[in-house]
Structure 1
Amino acid sequence: MSEDKNRFPELVNPVLPKRGLVYQESNPQLVLCKPKLLPLKSMTLEKMERMQKEANEKAKEMQEEIEKEKQAGFTDTIGSEETADVLTLDDD
């Protein structure tokens, strides 16, 4: 005990009252709350990206259909003779 007094001379011995109320001072502590995570992308940006992706997919599908029609059209006309439908009017 004497070693403790020599080591820590600045410590104050606690005084407890024999009568009356005992008060304790407290320092306000920071209270940590659950972190609120914010999205990296806003809902509007995600919606716009989804719309852009859908538009690109539709354009790609349409391009593929056009290519298929061209391929089908060229293969059908290669071996056949084409005749034009002509309307003739007779002046009788």
Structure 2
Amino acid sequence: MVEVKSMFWEVLPKQGQLSVDVNTMVVCKPKLLPLKSLTLEKMENMQQAAQNTIHQQEMAEKENQQVTH
């Protein structure tokens, strides 16, 4: 294992307690969330396609009923 020399060195107290401040805030980039998930969009598209198919079938049935009368 290669030892890396650093310009900083660790200093530990010989007496007393070692105190570390961990309560510092970390600022990160905001994450943008989509308004709709991809799954929700797919489900809406499937539902719209099913409604269009049903509507077309109903229109075809009405035309068939009008032709027979």
Cα displacement (A) at 1:52: 0.3
Q: TM-score, normalised by structure 2?
A: 0.56
> For residue 36 of structure 1, what is the amino acid of its counterpart?
K
Q: Structure 1 stretches (4+) deviating beyond 3 angstroms?
A: none
Find the structure with the greater CA-based Rg: 1
Cα displacement (A) at 1:41: 1.6
> For residue 65 of structure 1, what is the amino acid of its counterpart?
A
Establish whether residue 38 from structure 1 lines up as the match of residue 66 from structure 2: no
What residue number does 1:58 align with?
53
**Root-mean-square deviation (CA), in Å?**
2.1
Count of residue pairs the alignment pairs up: 46
Cα displacement (A) at 1:31: 5.2
What residue number does 2:68 align with?
73
Structure 1 residue runs of 5 or longer lacking an equivalent are 1-29, 75-92
Establish whether residue 49 from structure 1 lines up as the match of residue 44 from structure 2: yes
> For residue 69 of structure 1, what is the amino acid of its counterpart?
N
Q: What is the percent sequence identity of the aligned residues?
A: 43
Structure 2 residue runs of 5 or longer lacking an equivalent are 1-25
> For residue 47 of structure 1, what is the amino acid of its counterpart?
K
